[in-house]
Amino acid sequence: MTLKQLEAFYWAATCASFAVAAQRLHLSVSSLSKRIAELEEDLGQTLFDRSGHRAALTAAGDRLVPQARELLGAADRIRASMAARDALAGRCRFGVGELSALTWLPALIGRVRQDYPSLALEPYVDVGQVLERKVADGELDFAIIAGRSSRAGIASVPVGEARFVWVGAPRAVGQATHVTPELLRQCPLVSLPEGAGTSRLLQAWQGTLAEAEHRLHCNNWGAIVGMLVEGTGVGLLPVHWAQALEQDGSLRILASDPAPGALPYSFQYRRDDSRVLVEKMRTEVMRAVDFSARCRLP
């Protein structure tokens, strides 16, 4: 029995599929299956029932999962305790939303590359619901997502918050200075799709938003800004973006009751993932998160 065999078994048991586990370990599915078969032979136990459409853990496999997790965690801690500061290596796949990607993500990557030059970072950008599912399935090591996860298997550690305001182009809102049902009957609501973090903020206006006759969903912040500046409708923007666009006359910040609350973000990872990589990256993320950081797009 080897650590590599236990590692193959553990990730196959806890990821969404053998294919996801193999990708995580930089193996082909056949190589992953071979290591598991060797472990089964060594233990004299069948760990997966392969008779169905998907492999399922047997009773012996269920018993082995927590023991494998403990052994792999201990091995990881031993490596970390004996290694130099810059010894964190391998690949780290993590998820962020587009707002994070446009603000503090470049600083995070620059800092991690300096501190851990042997660690290859692979950021993945998508809406929160997709990122949370990929963390749960084992496709991502962690993700920074608006709000907290409702999944029992995912831990959520607060890391920061983003603030938003309502905006509209003067050509679209006329003399209006407040978001009202009347304004929403006149102007389409431009927003990110359901599943994005800002949809949580819009819940506070469910009654008022019922007056909106037209809604335009777009999954790209740059496109949303462009449509708002062109007078397509009204919507929420990060406060620092809105202030800059109001200063040059492109948009007007609109008051509302209630005012948009702060949108909290959390570092989400699987509770059964005790790797040093996750712990160290959580520290790096908490140092880097700054939603007021300048967006360098023109």
Per-residue confidence band for 114, with pLDDT thresholds at 50, 70 and 90? very high
pLDDT at 87 over 80: no
The reply to whether domains 3-82 and 90-160+263-288 share a CATH topology is no
Rounded distance between C-alpha atoms, residue 276 and residue 295, angstroms: 31
Per-residue confidence band for 86, with pLDDT thresholds at 50, 70 and 90? low
Per-residue confidence band for 73, with pLDDT thresholds at 50, 70 and 90? confident
Q: pTM of this prediction?
A: 0.81
pLDDT at 215 over 90: no
Q: Where are the beta strands (DSSP E) in 163-296?
A: 164-168, 189-191, 215-217, 234-238, 252-254, 263-270
In three-state secondary structure terms, 56 is: strand
Q: How far out from the chain centre does Cα 231 lie? A: 31
pLDDT digits (tens, 9 = 90+) for 136-154: 999 999 999 999 998 999 9
The architecture (CATH level 2) of 163-261 comes to 3-Layer(aba) Sandwich (3.40)
Q: How many H-runs (helices) and E-runs (strands) does the chain carry?
A: 14, 12
Q: Determine what percent of the chain is predicted with pLDDT higher than 90.
A: 61
For residue 82, count CB atoms less than 10 angstroms from its CB and return exposed for 0-12, middle for 13-18, buried for 19 or more.
exposed
pLDDT at 213 over 80: no
Can you give the residue ranges of every domain in the chain?
A: 3-82, 90-160+263-288, 163-261
For residue 14, what is the enclosing H or E element?
Answer: helix 3-14
Per-residue confidence band for 61, with pLDDT thresholds at 50, 70 and 90? very high
CATH of domain 3-82: 1.10.10.10
What's the order of all strands across the beta sheet hosting 252-254? 215-217, 189-191, 234-238, 164-168, 252-254
pLDDT digits (tens, 9 = 90+) for 153-180: 999 999 999 999 999 999 999 999 998 8
C-alpha separations of 257 from 189, 211, 260 in Å: 17, 15, 8
CATH of domain 90-160+263-288: 3.40.190.10
C-alpha separations of 286 from 82, 142, 144, 279, 281 in Å: 25, 13, 10, 11, 9
